[in-house]
Amino acid sequence: MKENPVTMALLLDFYGDTLTDKQRSYFEQYHGADLSLSEISENEGITRQGVRDVISRTETSLQELEEKLGLVARYGHLLAVSAKLTSCAREIIEINERRYLNGTIKQRAEEIMQLARTLDGE
């Protein structure tokens, strides 16, 4: 039942506001605090199966939202684009420093790197 923890954390970050308090609590205990189903059932005073059902439905709900909206996938794509932009801009700066020493090229490459950082949320 344990899904990829990074994926689950991202799904919670993007879609967690759609969950009930109980769903969020169980989900965070299971995926975030890495508690077992038995530990959560003891904490919450319900059966282990009850906890499992809530977590399973919550995972399904979050995954369905991602299938419909694709926010996590878009975020991953933005991070990849940002990394590529940064890499290209650094390469431009290095080539410029070795061959041209053009201030405008350096400035534009630095602007590209700054824009890439804004895609990362910095």
Q: What is the pLDDT of residues 71-122, one digit of tens each?
A: 999 999 999 999 999 999 999 999 999 999 999 999 999 999 999 999 888 7
CA distance 28 to 32: 5
State the amino acid at position 91 in one-letter form.
E
Q: Which pLDDT does position 1 carry in this prediction?
A: 60
The CATH classification number of 5-69 equals: 1.10.10.10
CA distance 8 to 16: 10
Domain boundaries along the sequence of the chain: 5-69, 74-119
Q: How many CB atoms lie within 10 A of CB 100?
A: 11
Residue 66: CA atoms inside 13 Å, Cβ hemisphere, count?
20
Q: What is the pTM of this model?
A: 0.84
* Sign, CA torsion 62/65/66/67: positive
